[in-house]
Structure 1
């Protein structure tokens, strides 16, 4: 039988001693975590393993011995190490050694228990796999994202079969807390044996952030409960920002790596958003862009109103040579011109206060770029409110005529709509009903082109405004949902996000074991974005293209972009 022994590269130069790790019988593999050096007392080693098992719930044991040949001539430890199998009984018993002054490794596994008889202990073939203990400990394995990565001279392996190796190293963190500066009676070699990595500033920040985070979380919960308005984009964005800050300042510790990654991604996203907002605020107030924008707003509104007036006058004539119903055309044209006149009068009435309003709106950029973009979307909605009214009027009138024509068409076929059963049933009509129906159908048919033309023009204008707002909301969604911390980890420390492993053959000799190097395959960038994408309050399509075209054809009101969480019709 071939056994797999995972050996940390940090212990390759360690002194002779005992191999401490975990035995995985399902995969016939041994995961070596540390090397115990001399001098030691067997009882103290067993107590240390019991403490680690109680802290991490990982069953660790002494798997065998490790002998560095440079110590044989000086200390004569070779025969002593072979006799330790009687004290630490483990099946199979690994014996790893390295030749002095060379690269040749000797690795064998012995099973002492067997059927009675004079036969010698059985020896199994061992495959020696080296791994970077620090990278495996800090990495987060994504088995579903394991991708084949075949190269010349390399062997690949999926992450599913080696998940137990990553889990063993990650859960044995209590074993790595001791270093050579401790007064522990057991001296170990592992990736932190030269000195445990720590930061005084980080520890002080952790202790000081507890009460501050608790106070801020309480205040944010009160503010979040008070903000219930969801009609405007800025209210929705502020509510989403309050949820992000509540998560950041939450005193609850992240129990899983996924929770930690989400919290870190939210923190980096908020910091980037606020930084971009402050840069925008500095640019707006530094070059007096707000004053220039306020001065140009009224002339632009006058120009847009003038163009709409020309458009309405063109529709009231003979647009594109079409023959329109003159009476209905004049009524609709004057109706829309009156609303346009009311709107431009409102703009001129507000013109003295526009600069002050824009100045206070610009200050909102200190809350983040997304808040400023949401306010911009609301401002566009307010400035184009007359277009929205025109679209609603035209759509309602067009929908009324379409519904009337469809009902009268059922009358000609001897059908009617059953409201109670929500279906079309047969019905017999008398001569008067057919005459009135024919008269109304004829009137609606001849009035339909005029109504449809107005509806078409104002629908195109409304879709133009909705497209601009949709692009703004997509930019907000990108800033809110992009996992920047995960992307930074993937760029700077790709081993932290593992999609699997690959094995590289180091050396294979006839007299020695097969030696492999386990390397971590990083998670692809697309998979990182898909896995750690943050929830956002941004917009996304409400209807499919088929549903959108059907609603446009029948004159139903459409809102292609909606906030997440809104109910569908």
Structure 2
């Protein structure tokens, strides 16, 4: 008769240790509940298991050893495992070995009481789903019902996580803490409707921006010239790709979606860091106070340059009438620009505040808005270039 081992998926990446669980002799099967890690004192382990037996009413014991070799096998550890089998003399004694160099696990049974080598069937199970199911209330004494009943009654075992300073250290489905498990479950339940909503929202925005009303000459021209609009278009495309509920057709599409998700996440993290830096110690107010003196300094330098060009630059004799006309024309533009900056000075801090707030959508979006604002503030220089070229 084959021996069945119900192994939890949460322990598949656990470090080396002992297998804690229940042996069901009637069904020739073992239910692994947790992996107990080194270092430990055998006496403390036996006392802990005795307390669990009193609180759960289950015959819990050390069923064997678990080995997870990420590199070469350690012969000393193998000898230590052999010594443990003599301390915890459970019959049968299980040895489960996982090696990263192989896809298959090695499962052996010792002291089984049978002369023939028994076949082992390793069954993966999700302890969380077993806990949430209703099958552990079934009174039928079948093998599956016993497995569900064993996991359901082992709540005291699962209440001990890695943050508790107890006599033993365990790995199970709640070893990261009950709060972490609840957050993971909430994320799993919320992820699908959230992705569906975001995908629908991105599709609606894309259809809105591609409408005929917005494809006219003025709006289409602004859309092509403003880097913020281009960045929003790319972000909508990336959002539709990431939140798509369709499965990736091949590995290339999966990697593309993963890379896009990582880039979006990194962009938002950098944006949040920028927000935390800007809104600390009133740095936005300091930037707003610096902007006006800088604008005055730039205007003064431009005026001095124009006055120099209106005279005899480098001793060259220019067309004085043309120099006077162009110089005064450019000086008038500078005067308008300074007046515009002074008119906007009471609102500069608010504008910078909202620009910083937009960084929560990503650092690239905040930089795009800043680029457009700089382009608008220096529009007079572009006008100088156009007038001079013509």
User: So what's the TM-score if we normalise by structure 1?
Assistant: 0.35
1:412-423 equivalences in 2 (<5 Å) = none
- Do the aligned partners of residues 256 and 320 (structure 1) sit closer, same or farther apart at CA in structure 2, a change above 3 Å counting? same
- Do the aligned partners of residues 341 and 213 (structure 1) sit closer, same or farther apart at CA in structure 2, a change above 3 Å counting? same
Give the gaps of 5 or more residues in structure 2: 1-99, 108-117, 129-180, 211-222
- Do the aligned partners of residues 199 and 342 (structure 1) sit closer, same or farther apart at CA in structure 2, a change above 3 Å counting? farther
Q: In the alignment, does 2:294 pair up with 1:300?
A: yes
1:16-27 equivalences in 2 (<5 Å) = none
Which whole-Å CA distance do the structure 2 matches of 1:258 and 1:188 have between them?
A: 40
Q: In the alignment, does 2:350 pair up with 1:368?
A: no
Q: In the alignment, does 2:383 pair up with 1:389?
A: yes
Which whole-Å CA distance do the structure 2 matches of 1:378 and 1:132 have between them?
A: 54
- Do the aligned partners of residues 376 and 249 (structure 1) sit closer, same or farther apart at CA in structure 2, a change above 3 Å counting? same
Q: In the alignment, does 2:207 pair up with 1:213?
A: no
- Residue 205 of structure 2 corresponds to 223
Q: In the alignment, does 2:243 pair up with 1:249?
A: yes
Cα-to-partner distance string for 1:500-558 (whole Å, 9 max, x where unaligned) = xxxxxxxxxxxxxxxxxxxxxxxxxxxxxxxxxxxxxxxxxxxxxxxxxxxxxxxxxxx
Which whole-Å CA distance do the structure 2 matches of 1:341 and 1:199 have between them?
A: 74
1:284–1:290: 8 Å Cα contact kept in structure 2?
yes
Q: In the alignment, does 2:309 pair up with 1:315?
A: yes
- Do the aligned partners of residues 247 and 188 (structure 1) sit closer, same or farther apart at CA in structure 2, a change above 3 Å counting? farther
- Residue 269 of structure 1 corresponds to 263
1:233–1:377: 8 Å Cα contact kept in structure 2?
yes
Which whole-Å CA distance do the structure 2 matches of 1:204 and 1:355 have between them?
A: 40
Give the gaps of 5 or more residues in structure 1: 1-130, 135-175, 181-186, 398-569
Deviation of 1:375 after TM superposition, in Å, equals: 1.1
Deviation of 1:210 after TM superposition, in Å, equals: 2.8
Deviation of 1:319 after TM superposition, in Å, equals: 1.0
**For 2:249, what is the secondary structure of its paired residue?**
coil
Deviation of 1:327 after TM superposition, in Å, equals: 1.2
1:168-567 equivalences in 2 (<5 Å) = 208-227=190-209, 229-395=223-389, 397=390
Q: Relative contact order (alpha carbons < 8 A, sep ≥ 6): 1 or 2 greater?
A: 1
Which whole-Å CA distance do the structure 2 matches of 1:241 and 1:218 have between them?
A: 14
2:355–2:370: 8 Å Cα contact kept in structure 1?
no
1:227–1:235: 8 Å Cα contact kept in structure 2?
no
Detail structure 1 runs of 4+ shifted over 4 Å in the superposition.
131-134, 193-208
Cα-to-partner distance string for 1:186-218 (whole Å, 9 max, x where unaligned) = x999xxx86659796789866653333222211
Deviation of 1:362 after TM superposition, in Å, equals: 1.2
Which whole-Å CA distance do the structure 1 matches of 2:388 and 2:233 have between them?
A: 34
Deviation of 1:282 after TM superposition, in Å, equals: 0.8
- Residue 91 of structure 1 corresponds to none
1:294–1:355: 8 Å Cα contact kept in structure 2?
yes
**For 1:286, what is the secondary structure of its paired residue?**
coil
Count residues in correspondence. 216
User: So what's the TM-score if we normalise by structure 2?
Assistant: 0.50
1:294–1:358: 8 Å Cα contact kept in structure 2?
yes
Deviation of 1:359 after TM superposition, in Å, equals: 1.0
Task: State the Cα RMSD in Å.
Answer: 3.0
- Do the aligned partners of residues 204 and 352 (structure 1) sit closer, same or farther apart at CA in structure 2, a change above 3 Å counting? closer
- Do the aligned partners of residues 243 and 339 (structure 1) sit closer, same or farther apart at CA in structure 2, a change above 3 Å counting? same
- Residue 163 of structure 2 corresponds to none
